[in-house]
Structure 1
Amino acid sequence: MRRLWVLSALFAFIAFTGCTKTDIPKNEVFSINDLSNKKVGVIKGTTAEIYAADYGTDSTRLQAEKFETLAQAVDALLEGKIDAVLTDDAPAKVFARKNPSLRILNETFKEESYAGIVAKENMGLLDSVNIALIQMRAMGVYDSIFDNYIGGQTKYHVSQDSAVGPVLRVATNAEFPPFEFRCKKRGIVGIDIEIARYVANYLGRNLEIIDMDFDDIIDSVRAGGADLGLAAFSVTEERSQIINFTDHYATSKIVVMVRSGEEESTFQRIKDSLLGG
């Protein structure tokens, strides 16, 4: 009897919601050229913020809306508060896979490389990190890490060795999957965290991951609050004036994420809500 009541409520609710209208505007961004005069979400302190500021001419500028995290920008996009999000392709794919209401334009906005950061005066550490990165590639560790987090083909993780050396303090921002994000069982995880473990093992040092705002990482490394920064840093000439980059360990594309116009089945969504999925 209870099941019949729930199903009756389910179909009645579907009939009701089928007549309602959404306030979320339809997507109007189908190419990079469509960004002119649109509200575009960017993450503070990232190269996407810089590219957004340089986009277009006086009559075709986009309106950059700045967010602390990519998740906040995506929420604003889904709610119709902005028209698009400018971000790196790997994390964009993570969000798009989880939400059918998002899609990524085929055009590439910008190509760039990722590297770690070390203070200008810490040349010894820079050399050691670069040697560790070379060793990672030679031993296949690098490919195994990326196959795990991006390809989904392995369950590979770098184990943390016990060490007697000083702590290696690595600054990151755990808001940028698959490079760094939080996991209920394992804490902060991701490609950069695996690299940090490998580097710490190579140096014979224990590892401390320091989570902070992305915009604060460069200043922290420069001031000695952290030894190394690993947070999918794009290599730019401007940044290289104040910080040293390690050898790059990944290439990336800046892409445009928009609303797809597709939604989860109304029937399935309500069914899951009423019957517990």
Structure 2
Amino acid sequence: MAIKNILVAFSGSESSRSAVKLARQMMEKYDAHLTGALTYAPSEVSTTLKPYASAELTAVISAAEQDRRTAIHTEFLSVLGLPEGEKVHWIEAGGDVDYSLMELARTYDIVLIGQYDGTRENRNLVPHPDMIALHSGRPVLVVPPELPDTVLNDKAVLAWDGGKSAARAMSDALDILASKSEVTLVSVGDGNAETLAKLNRVAAHLKTHGIVGEAEIVPRTKRSIAKVLLEVVEKHQAGILIMGAYEHSKFFEDIWGGTTNSAINSAKVPVLMSH
């Protein structure tokens, strides 16, 4: 998939600032358009006071919220270091933070979003990466609060479990993988001949796109799959982890924990997820 149209969620939070910095690097690397997006719900103050507020107070609250959004727009351009123009754009959408971003995302090649760092003060402005990955239909690149030195280097790890989400992630990441000189194809579990054969088929497919991938099978032991994957990323000093999202249901992962939630919440490198 060619990356020519990038959407980055920005709320002014620490993680969203990192997402914008990475988005600019990707914009320049892929000669792409970049759109900053602020999606928002009514603030807690607005929701709490709405049944009791006079028209005058409602107008004051509304003006204050608009001023806040204007300040976030200004901050976005400052963090990006570029003015709005032919390839830099800004969009705002009210209603529900997550669903508004999901709808916007469907007309972009990739969505960048910071790891969730919402607080009581800003949670009406901060979208949830897991919800966007699950429902937008687009690849989502989740960015940690601090960008590592390895970001956008020439190394990547592709997690492979043979599922449809992993296949979708691989396809969505082809443009990214094509720019890497070292791609590790990792499967967690038994190192039997069948698993190796599956990884070799993945490597053969990537080779048709000019991408060289090396298979690596890692025993799970008592560690979680997410922990194993992140250890592989660290071992290879990779700048990105690519994986399928929610092969189990999100409800299952929310209740019992799972690879997707663990990876996006604790990764120190950007994680590209597709569902």
**Structure 1-normalised TM-score?**
0.22
Which protein has greater RCO, CA pairs closer than 8 Å, 6+ apart? 1
